[in-house]
A and B are shown apart, each in its own frame.
Chain A
Amino acid sequence: MENQQTNSSLFGLQLNTVSKNSLITIAQWATIIAVVSTVSSVISLIEAITARPKVVNIEGFSYDVEQSTGGNMVGAVIGLIIVFLINYFLYMFGKKTKKAIENIDQGDLNSGFSNLKAYFQITGILLIIVLVFFLIALMGMASMT
């Protein structure tokens, strides 16, 4: 017996009005998230650049300590490049998917989904890298105790 919920065309799964509405909302929010995250990262970089040097008082002498500023800067720039890369794919997913639905363009839809794949892939790989560093740090701490 054929499943009544199955709504497929000859070659693939056909998108109906509900699918298109969901995809348009997803695409709009994906674009917002991409822009907002990028702006947020730029603000973090500005904060790192404009961070005031700490004044430390040791035995009556005051020193300007700038060691945290340099570290923050490098970290913020690397973070900004990664965030730009991730959000570029998220932005392109949003843009292409919205355009595909508005113009009924299969090529754009495929391109949009390809960008979504790249977005999740890069995020996943970054998470693996973070977990590896975390594990190394844990092992280092365990060997010290």
Chain B
Amino acid sequence: MEPNQTSGLFELEVDDISSRNLVDAFKWAKFLAIAGITGLGLILIFFLAYGVKIINALSQVLPGFEGDAAFGVISAVIVIFILIFGLLAYLLLRASTLIHKGIAGKNTEVFNNGLASLKIYFIIYGVVSVLSLLMNFISLF
């Protein structure tokens, strides 16, 4: 049996109602993805422009948090943050575009590629959520 095979008269399909729901859902998802990419870009620009001032302000609040080491730590945190959330935004944007195209052209292959991107998006988002819960839990004690 081929993995891509569709079978039977009574199979699940993306009918009119599902299509409308998915198209609406992924219009909003596209907006979120574009807003996310723009926001991350602004964070990067803001850090490049005011990075030194931010470190100086932090060094007044946290004694010993100054110099190249502090700049390196903050830079690493921001780069990791931008990479993870940039990837999430890209995957959501790709999923939105492909799912919309798949529905419009009734093309299962394109639709499945969109679902594959959405799947990776949800997996990464899930792992980030679990890690965030762990850190939240640790901070309780």
Given A22-B115, A120-B28, also A13-B102 (CB < 8 A): yes
B105 touches A22 (CB 8 A): no
The dominant DSSP class at the A interface is helix
**Mask: chain B, 9-24; 1 = CB below 8 Å from A; 0 = not:** 0111111111101101
| A33: chain B residues within 8 A (beta carbon) | 122, 125-126, 129
Quick check: B28 and A121 within 8 Å, CB to CB?
yes
The answer to the question of A106 belonging to the interface, with a C-beta cut-off of 8 Å to chain B, is yes
**A contact residues, range:** 35 or more
A56 interface contact, C-beta 8 A: no
Cβ contact of B15, chosen from A6, A12, A121, cutoff 8 A: A12
Closest CB in chain B relative to A136 CB, distance in Å: 17
Q: How far is the CB of A55 from chain B (nearest CB, A)?
A: 18
Q: What number of A-B contacts does a CB cutoff of 8 Å give?
A: 162
Contact: A11 with B129, CB < 8 Å? no
| Pick from A12, A18, A110, A113: contact of B112, CB under 8 Å | A18
Residue B73 at the A interface, CB < 8 A? no
Contact string, A110-145, partner B, CB cutoff 8 A, digits 1/0? 100110110111011001000100000000000000
Q: Chain B 107-136 against A: per-residue CB contact (8 Å), 1 yes, 0 no?
A: 111111001101100110110011011001
- Give A7 to B99 CA distance when docked, in angstroms: 14
Q: Assuming A11-B15, A18-B4, A104-B11, is B108 touching A6 (CB within 8 A)?
A: yes
Interface residue B50 (Cβ < 8 Å from any Cβ of A): no
Beta-carbon nearest neighbor of A50 in chain B: B140
How many angstroms from the CA of A12 to the CA of B11 in the assembled complex? 11
User: Is there a chain A Cβ closer than 8 Å to B60's Cβ?
Assistant: no
**Chain B residues with Cβ under 8 A from A26's Cβ?**
115, 118-119, 122
Given A16-B108, A22-B112, A124-B31, A114 and B21 touching (CB < 8 A)? yes
**Given the complex, which residues of A lie within 8 Å of B32, measured CB to CB?**
120, 123-124, 127
**Inside 8 A of B140's CB, which chain A residues have their CB?**
43, 46-47
Nearest-neighbour CB distance to chain A for B82, whole angstroms, equals 18
Known: A19-B112, A47-B136. 9 other contacts (CB 8 A): A12-B18, A13-B103, A15-B6, A15-B11, A17-B5, A30-B122, A36-B132, A113-B18, A117-B28
- CB-defined A-B contacts under 8 Å, sample of 28: A5-B109, A9-B6, A11-B13, A12-B14, A12-B18, A12-B19, A13-B106, A14-B6, A14-B14, A15-B12, A16-B6, A17-B4, A19-B111, A22-B119, A26-B122, A40-B133, A43-B136, A46-B140, A101-B12, A105-B12, A106-B13, A110-B17, A113-B21, A114-B17, A120-B26, A120-B28, A121-B25, A123-B32
